[in-house]
Amino acid sequence: MIDRIDHLVLTVRSIEATCDFYTRCLDFERVDTANGPTALRFGEQKINVHQSDRTFEPKARRPTEGSADLCLVASVPLTDVLDRLDQHQVAIELGPVERQGALGAMESIYFRDPDDNLVEVSRYHDESSNVLTRPSDRAGRS
């Protein structure tokens, strides 16, 4: 019935600071829409960014800065992600550590964005797990 997540919303103190962080540190693409939210696009998903004093309706009952906990899947080795974060003086809170993701075993690192949201970046041990397929597509694999 549900295929995937299209987008999530982050409530932030500053759209500029948030977009700067995610574009510099994780290579997201900033997308500004007239009369709509700013978004950060990556892969086939996006994160809409709402500034806490200028949100859009409808919205979460209690949108709060720093309350998110995101897990992102990297398309490159985690060492590349760690190098990039180090270049931008982003402190690693935990990792690399072993975790179980939606598609199996993975390795993860954790850090905070400018609003103190927890950001987990992971890489599946089986690189083919980085590509999500529908259950009916996986059934035919050998």
pLDDT tens, residue by residue, 62-97: 889 999 999 999 999 999 999 999 999 999 999 999
> Mean pLDDT score of the chain, rounded to an integer?
90
Does residue 2 lie in a domain region?
A: no
Does residue 1 lie in a domain region?
A: no
Q: CA 71, CA 114: separation in Å to the nearest integer?
A: 16
Distance from the Cα of residue 13 to its chain's centroid: 18
Does residue 96 lie in a domain region?
A: yes
Domain count, the chain: 1
User: CATH number, domain at 72?
Assistant: 3.10.180.10
Residue with tokens 């994160």: 47
**Taking the model in full, what pTM does it have?**
0.87
Q: CA 132, CA 29: separation in Å to the nearest integer?
A: 21
Question: pLDDT digit string (tens) for 32-48?
Answer: 999 889 999 999 999 99
Domain of 19, in residue numbers: 7-139
Choosing from 44, 93, 120, 127, the catalytic residue is 120
Does residue 72 lie in a domain region?
A: yes
Does residue 67 lie in a domain region?
A: yes
Assess whether 120 carries a catalytic annotation: yes
